[in-house]
Amino acid sequence: MGIRRCRVVTPLLAAVVATVIVSLMGGAASAATRYWSNRSGNCTGSFRSTTCWATSSIGFTGSTVPVAGDLVHFDNTTTVGCTLDQNVNIGTLTTTVYAGTITAGAFGVTV
């Protein structure tokens, strides 16, 4: 009789392999962080306008509009009001000393 060899996969190795597989398959998208801003000076006030969104509090505008799961911030870097012109689904909504107005009208925000 010969010696039989068995492979034992440790839980750590299994977790690493699973992580690599998920990464290669695209995995879940990470939430983006978006700041309401008029740093570029051309914010239209429309929620769905890229001219009003930045990737940092002091960043220039032109970022993508927030989508489901994104972290949205309104802070003291602008007083330009935000008008919702579509229903909005985001991950979080944070206001920090924001002096502008967020106008929802007939549209809603889902957080």
Looking at 62-111, which runs of residues are DSSP E strands?
Answer: 71-74, 82-83, 88-89, 92-95, 102-103, 109-110
Q: Which of 1-5, 9-13, 58-62 has the highest mean pLDDT?
A: 58-62
pLDDT tens-digit series, residues 21-71:
444 444 456 899 999 999 999 999 999 999 999 999 999 999 999 999 999
At residue 30, the pLDDT reads 84
Give the model's pLDDT for residue 27: 46
Answer yes or no: are the C-beta atoms of 58 and 39 closer than 8 Å.
Answer: yes
Q: Is the pLDDT of residue 12 over 90?
A: no
**Global pTM value:** 0.73
